[in-house]
Structure 1
């Protein structure tokens, strides 16, 4: 489960780095305050006169009006400056890490084996039930 979580986290972080460093533009076309067309690769298609609804008699907004439709651009500028992290170890930190890793690994050593000390022990054969013979019962 931990490996699966780490893989998901690494893919997510890779996608975040890719998204923040990549530049792209999205073109959007709105008619009657509704998104009609969205394009990332080129210009968004404008609304056609064919799509106009003849039953719409309100004066608010129709697809045929030129001032009702609008185009909008979304620009994401990627950054070229990535912060590189330097990791320097001095001798005390390296010694501490080495001791910590060694003790952590040896902490779980031998836990896979389930040692049963009385594995080869055979119980004695009981001739008579002594509790019933002496009439001692736990209540």
Structure 2
């Protein structure tokens, strides 16, 4: 159960990091107040009511404003994920250093094998009890 929970939490944290660093743009085309098309990856389709450019661009003509508009929403992800040890304040540096030192020292005494029955001798067998009672483990 603990391993499953650990894998689920690891996956969720990786997903959070991935989603916080992704940036994307949502493009939308409106005709008046009505949303005609919206796109995440490509160009949006238009409704066909945009203003047409005349063939004679040299003449200065007064053109009416179009009722269509294009809007883009840009969501930028986080760029800097690495926190430098120098940006920590002094109390945080002391905490990290002391935690690291105490964590490493936890495992120094686990290398020796402690045998608690080393000073005691095994009992002498006068009779084989299993043979005496005719009980055998299969």
**TM-score bracket relative to the smaller structure:** 0.3 to 0.5
TM-score, with normalisation over the residues of structure 1? 0.42
